[in-house]
Amino acid sequence: MTGILTRADLNTSPTRIHLFDRISLLERELRGLIDDVTPDWKEEVYFSDNVDEKIDRLHSEARDANVDLSKIHYARFLHSGK
């Protein structure tokens, strides 16, 4: 039988690698969508001062290391529960 995962399957390295790959791809696509639809996302989302500064610092450090990603790749979006 194929297509059915058990709890034991989820604890294997190949399954975890595959799931991490799929989740990473989804995250990248969602960040790209946000960046395309709302290019001014930093103004639309509330960040405390230190988070905004951290995004800018991480983006600057990445650029210095010749990594050219949009700032959205350095933001963490967490649900506040409100």
Domain range summary for the chain, segments of one domain joined by +: 9-74
- Considering only residues 45 and 26, tell me which one the structure prediction assigns the higher pLDDT: 26
Structure tokens at 45: 């989302």
Residue by residue, DSSP assigns 21-35 as: HHHHHHHHHHHHHHH
Please list, in sequence order, all residues whose beta carbon lies within 8 angstroms of the beta carbon of residue 55, skipping any fewer than 6 positions away: 42, 47, 71, 74, 75
pLDDT of residue 38: 83
Is 80 exceeded by the pLDDT of residue 43? no
pLDDT of residue 78: 59
Taking the model in full, what pTM does it have?
0.62
% of the chain exceeding 70 in pLDDT? 84
- Considering only residues 6 and 20, tell me which one the structure prediction assigns the higher pLDDT: 20
pLDDT of residue 77: 66
